[in-house]
């Protein structure tokens, strides 16, 4: 055993080893930290530099140490104490295993072991450690002040339908309350925290704040999502899709073009799901997503949970530790996530075809930061960069919103201030902030419009002008205006309007009819086509001019967003769609 002690000393202080010249309060802090973490031992009689200095002690004094540790800790810690004589000097080894009931307090203070030092636990860490020890999670507790009336039954119905269709669990029960009780999402007549987060009406009080940055201090677009978690995942993905670029590859093997997204969409969705499902909901901080050129960061409140480590997450066989068990289970039952402990492995698999893309993660104070970035764009199968990488505006104009098109045509080749541009732009809204957000900002971000004072957006003499790319788009728009052709039904095609305002002033008749007909039901594409007033017989035309615009505007959503061609696919109105419906009915 003396050989073992010498070996331990030679290896130095670590996650499970501490050296002390004498027995003192710090020795007891280390014992407490070990009990709250992975267990460990304190070697009394060894300096912090690993030198054996010895300690003057006997059997009786060692027992006093043991008793003092027991009396000053709650729950009481019983240490194993052994005396050794090494090189003529006494060394006492105080050992303690990881305790099953945590956290252990030393005179009212809680510690954990990180590396070779002890850290005082925060209130949140104390609560998390207690729940982990009891094998319960915060989301299983009753939602304070909430009743079943605070839950959105439409969201619950969609959830139950998706669970049943996915086949991972057969939900029995006559009512939705019976089914949610089976999943432990309802406790008696009170929703749990998980139920409120998953199905709550309106703003549930937890935000996902996403923004598009040109520089670390220059934001050109942002969105705040705060609906229930299922809604927030879809709204977040829609915002990401509106901001990332896409290239088109034509291989010659088929007449169809292949889309190559700037980032692999399954990887982005997996990161979004991880960020929202596993965040610490006891923290007041928001989830923050920052989109830069060639980089996206995801900031999530809450450090790694349980015994999870960064080193383990870099492997493909890590053990999962779930902070929000009921929330994670709900997303598992709907098929949004696969089995636990495989998310990061799937992300690595998805980015493997993007040669320069990096997937990185790190702990921040009370938070977790994930970064996905690249240096060079993805190559096509011939090893070349695919056809021009474009955002939601390209010189082909096929993805331009009506607002941007209108602004480009009216700006023409002049230099105009924001007010001047707003006054000359056809059908421009009266709200200056709305005009800037939906007309100017997308045009600037797309490189179609430039600023005379780019470093000072609020310069009193600021003016906007068309860039060379903007001038190309202007010529394309002028040419297409002269070459408009009728659609397949012999009618002039209706323009797609994006960035819809609930005032509905820019909505096409087709989209309005679809929203009114869908109402608050869940309908398949065929059911929706049959129910929509004046809908054409052509299914492809209906999809192109009714469903697709409404979907792109965020007015309707898919019951199975990951499987657009799911045999039981249905559409429903989003919260934004419901607002539009109210405006239309009024």
Residue 560 has pLDDT above 60, yes or no: yes
105 in the same domain as 27? yes
Distance from C-alpha of 541 to C-alpha of 260, rounded to nearest angstrom:
25
Distance from C-alpha of 394 to C-alpha of 397, rounded to nearest angstrom:
5
Token pair, residue 71, equals 């009396």
Residue 407 backbone class (left: φ over 0; alpha: ψ -120 to 50; beta: rest) = alpha
Q: Decide which of 392 and 147 is more confident.
A: 147
Token pair, residue 347, equals 């992300």
H/E stretch holding 44 reads: strand 40-44
| DSSP states of 337-376 | S-STT-HHHHHHHHHTTSTT-EEEEEEETTEEEEEEE-SS
Token pair, residue 576, equals 């934004």
Q: Does residue 504 fall inside a structural domain?
A: no
pLDDT of the residue at 480: 66
Q: Decide which of 492 and 199 is more confident.
A: 199
Q: Does residue 397 fall inside a structural domain?
A: yes
Q: DSSP alpha helices (H): ranges in 47-168?
A: 59-72, 123-134, 153-166
Distance from C-alpha of 313 to C-alpha of 361, rounded to nearest angstrom:
9
* Dihedral Cα 142, 146, 148, 153, nearest 10 deg: -110
Residue 313: which of 305, 325, 324, 302 has the closest Cα? Answer: 305
Residue 449: which of 461, 458, 462, 459 has the closest Cα? Answer: 462
Q: Does residue 549 fall inside a structural domain?
A: yes
Distance from C-alpha of 27 to C-alpha of 294, rounded to nearest angstrom:
49
Distance from C-alpha of 399 to C-alpha of 243, rounded to nearest angstrom:
12
pLDDT of the residue at 452: 84
Residue 326 has pLDDT above 80, yes or no: yes
pLDDT of the residue at 502: 43
Q: Decide which of 549 and 236 is more confident.
A: 236
pLDDT of the residue at 576: 83
Distances (CA, A) of 48 to 13, 24, 44, 52, 112: 8, 14, 10, 10, 19
Can you tell me the mean pLDDT for 507-520? 86
| DSSP states of 261-302 | ESS-HHHHHHHHHHHHHSS-TTS-PPEEEEEETTEEEEEEES
21 in the same domain as 103? yes
Distance from C-alpha of 232 to C-alpha of 223, rounded to nearest angstrom:
11
- Tokens 């999870």 correspond to 308
Can you tell me the mean pLDDT for 366-377? 91
20 in the same domain as 57? yes
Domain stops at, among 119, 142, 162: 119
Distance from C-alpha of 567 to C-alpha of 428, rounded to nearest angstrom:
42
534 in the same domain as 452? no
Q: Which residues, other chains included, contact 424 with Cβ-Cβ below 8 Å and sequence gap of 6+? A: 410, 411, 416
Can you tell me the mean pLDDT for 398-421? 84
Residue 86 has pLDDT above 70, yes or no: yes
Q: Does residue 567 fall inside a structural domain?
A: yes
12 in the same domain as 114? yes
Q: Does residue 39 fall inside a structural domain?
A: yes
pLDDT band, residue 495 (cuts 50/70/90): very low
418 three-state secondary structure: helix
β-strand pairing of 246-249 with 186-187? unpaired
Can you tell me the mean pLDDT for 453-460? 80
pLDDT band, residue 490 (cuts 50/70/90): very low
Contact criterion met (CB below 8 Å) for 122 and 114:
no
537 in the same domain as 477? no
104 in the same domain as 11? yes
Distance from C-alpha of 165 to C-alpha of 159, rounded to nearest angstrom:
10
pLDDT band, residue 124 (cuts 50/70/90): confident
Residue 489 has pLDDT above 70, yes or no: no
522 in the same domain as 419? no
Q: Does residue 546 fall inside a structural domain?
A: yes
> Could you tell me the CATH number of the domain that includes residue 7?
3.30.950.30
Lowest mean pLDDT across 143-157, 215-229, 298-312, 418-432: 418-432
Contact criterion met (CB below 8 Å) for 3 and 27:
no
Q: Decide which of 277 and 553 is more confident.
A: 277
User: What percent of the chain has pLDDT above 70?
Assistant: 88
Residue 8 has pLDDT above 80, yes or no: yes
Give the chain's domain count.
3
pLDDT band, residue 493 (cuts 50/70/90): very low
Q: What angle do CA 546, 548, 549 make, to 5 degrees?
A: 70
pLDDT band, residue 403 (cuts 50/70/90): confident
Residue 199: which of 164, 172, 162 has the closest Cα? Answer: 162
State which residues form the domain around 19. 2-119
pLDDT band, residue 378 (cuts 50/70/90): low
* Most confident segment among 186-195, 337-346, 374-383, 509-518: 186-195
405 in the same domain as 453? yes
Q: Decide which of 191 and 510 is more confident.
A: 191
Q: Which residues, other chains included, contact 510 with Cβ-Cβ below 8 Å and sequence gap of 6+? A: 494, 545, 546, 549
Count other Cβ atoms within 10 Å, centred on residue 390.
Answer: 17
Peptide bond into 380 cis (omega under 30): no
Tell me the pLDDT of the chain averaged across its residues: 85
pLDDT of the residue at 484: 44
Computed from CA positions of residues 126, 130, 133, 137, in that sequence, does the dihedral angle turn out positive or negative?
Answer: negative
Residue 134 has pLDDT above 80, yes or no: no
Computed from CA positions of residues 404, 409, 412, 416, in that sequence, does the dihedral angle turn out positive or negative?
Answer: negative
31 in the same domain as 91? yes
Q: Does residue 287 fall inside a structural domain?
A: no
φ, ψ of residue 532 to 5 degrees: the values are -80, 130
Domain stops at, among 463, 482, 501: 482
Q: Which residues are paired to 502 by β-bridges? A: none
Distance from C-alpha of 584 to C-alpha of 503, rounded to nearest angstrom:
8
Q: Decide which of 340 and 488 is more confident.
A: 340
Can you tell me the mean pLDDT for 96-108? 90
Start-to-end CA span in the chain (Å): 84
pLDDT band, residue 251 (cuts 50/70/90): low
**pLDDT tens digit string along 48-81?**
899 999 999 998 999 999 999 999 999 899 999 9
pLDDT of the residue at 501: 41
Token pair, residue 43, equals 């070697």
Domain stops at, among 431, 466, 482: 482
> Could you tell me the CATH number of the domain that includes residue 523?
1.10.10.10
pLDDT band, residue 397 (cuts 50/70/90): low
Lowest mean pLDDT across 101-110, 247-256, 282-291, 403-412: 247-256
525 in the same domain as 432? no
Q: Does residue 41 fall inside a structural domain?
A: yes
Residue 91 has pLDDT above 90, yes or no: yes
Q: Decide which of 116 and 413 is more confident.
A: 116
Can you tell me the mean pLDDT for 277-294? 93
516 in the same domain as 469? no
């Amino acid at each position: 055993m003396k050989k073992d002690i010498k070996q331990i000393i030679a290896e130095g202080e670590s996650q499970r080893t501490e050296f002390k010249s004498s027995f003192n309060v710090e020795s007891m802090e280390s014992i407490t930290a070990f009990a709250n973490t992975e267990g460990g031992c304190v070697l009394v009689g060894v300096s912090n530099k690993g030198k054996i200095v010895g300690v003057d002690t006997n059997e009786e004094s060692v027992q006093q140490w043991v008793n003092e540790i027991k009396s000053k800790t709650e729950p009481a810690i019983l240490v194993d104490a052994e005396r050794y004589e090494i090189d003529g000097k006494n060394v006492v080894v105080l050992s303690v295993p990881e305790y099953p009931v945590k956290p252990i307090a030393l005179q009212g203070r809680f510690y954990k072991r990180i590396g070779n030092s002890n850290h005082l636990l925060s209130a949140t860490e104390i609560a998390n450690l207690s729940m982990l020890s009891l094998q319960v999670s915060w989301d299983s507790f009753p939602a304070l002040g909430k009743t079943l009336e605070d839950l959105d039954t439409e969201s619950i119905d969609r959830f139950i339908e998706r669970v049943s269709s996915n086949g991972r669990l057969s939900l029995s029960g006559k009512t939705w309350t019976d089914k949610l009780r089976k999943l432990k999402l309802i406790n008696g007549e009170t929703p749990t925290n998980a139920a409120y987060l998953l199905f709550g009406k309106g703003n549930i009080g937890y935000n996902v704040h996403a923004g598009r940055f040109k520089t670390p201090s220059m934001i050109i677009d942002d969105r705040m999502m705060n609906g229930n978690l299922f809604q927030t995942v879809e709204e977040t993905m829609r915002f990401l899709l509106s901001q990332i670029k896409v290239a088109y590859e034509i291989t010659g093997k088929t007449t169809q073009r292949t889309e190559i997204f700037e980032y692999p969409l399954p990887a982005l969705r997996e990161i979004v799901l991880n960020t929202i499902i596993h965040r610490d909901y006891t923290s007041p901080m928001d989830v923050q997503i920052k989109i830069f050129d060639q980089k996206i960061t995801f900031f999530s409140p809450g450090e790694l949970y349980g015994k999870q480590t960064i080193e383990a997450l870099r492997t493909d066989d890590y053990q999962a530790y779930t902070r929000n068990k009921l929330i994670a289970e709900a997303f598992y039952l709907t098929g949004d996530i696969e089995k636990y402990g495989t998310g990061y492995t799937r992300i690595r698999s998805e980015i493997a075809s993007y040669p320069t893309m990096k997937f990185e993660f790190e702990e921040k104070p009370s938070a977790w930061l994930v970064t996905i970035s690249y240096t060079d764009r993805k190559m096509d199968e011939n090893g070349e960069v695919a056809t021009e990488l474009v955002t939601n505006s390209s010189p082909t104009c096929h993805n331009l919103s009506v607002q941007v098109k209108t602004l480009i045509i009216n700006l023409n080749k002049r230099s105009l201030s924001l007010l001047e541009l707003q006054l000359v732009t056809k059908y421009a809204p009266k709200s200056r902030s709305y005009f800037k957000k939906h007309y100017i900002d997308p045009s600037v971000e797309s490189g179609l419009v430039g600023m005379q004072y780019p470093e000072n957006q609020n310069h009193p003499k600021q003016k906007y002008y068309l860039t060379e790319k903007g001038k190309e788009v202007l010529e394309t728009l002028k040419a297409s205006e002269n070459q408009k052709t009728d659609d397949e039904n012999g009618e002039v095609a209706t323009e797609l309007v994006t960035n819809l305002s609930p005032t509905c002033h820019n909505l096409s008749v087709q989209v309005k009819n679809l929203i009114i007909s869908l109402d608050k039901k869940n309908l398949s594409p065929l059911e929706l086509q049959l129910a929509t007033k004046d809908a054409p017989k052509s299914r492809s035309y209906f999809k192109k001019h009714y469903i697709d615009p409404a979907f792109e505007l965020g007015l309707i959503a898919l019951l199975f967003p990951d499987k657009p061609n799911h045999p039981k696919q249905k559409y429903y109105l989003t919260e934004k769609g419901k607002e539009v419906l109210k405006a239309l009915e009024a």
